Amino acid sequence: MSDVEPAVVTVEPATTAVIRRVVATDRIGEFFDSAFRSIAATSTGQAAGIAGPAFALYHGMPADTVDLEVGFPTVRPVQPVGEVTAGSLPGGRVARAVHAGGYDGLGAAWQQLGAWIGEQGGAPGAVFWEVYVTEPNPQMDPADLRTELNWLLADR
């Protein structure tokens, strides 16, 4: 699952530009492609400054549909345009791991991180997000992809 052992880290909240939607799980890829293009255009057009790689923040566990927001961290909040709005990544204690490989392995990687949290005596919260550290392209080997998994821990 991981290039490095999972760890608990403390993160600061981050300003973001996002599109939030409830999407059928089999349509996530299409949503990502169109949303990331719109968000990047809005952020750069407003000089909000993209401050890091793309991410997807999940509000609850995916089933047939998933409630998520995708976007980029920004230097400044964006002004809403169409579906693009200002948002934020949460701050606090997060269980973090890095998934090495294709996106088809992310479900198993999340399950492993959830199990690790339990083994540490922690409890996963309802919010978790992926940071797409490696920007995908059609010519790359999926084994070269790196996705940072972040799971906000519930207070006990």
How far is the C-alpha of 17 from the C-alpha of 103, rounded, in Å? 23
pLDDT for 25-61, tens place per residue?
999 999 999 999 999 999 988 988 999 999 999 999 8
Q: What is the mean pLDDT of residues 114-127?
A: 95
- Specify the pTM: 0.93
Which residue in the block uniquely carries the two structure tokens 């821990």?
153
Determine the average pLDDT of the residues in 78-83. 95
Extract the runs of DSSP E, i.e. beta strands, from 101-133.
Answer: 124-132
Residues in the chain: 156
pLDDT at 97: 97
Residue type (1 letter), 136? P
Q: Measured between alpha carbons, how far is residue 109 from residues 1, 54, 86, 90 in Å?
A: 6, 19, 29, 21
The DSSP call for residue 77 is P
CB 127 within 8 A of CB 58: yes
Residue with token string 């719109």: 38
Domains of the chain as residue ranges with CATH: 7-153 (3.20.80.10)
**Which pLDDT does position 98 carry in this prediction?**
97
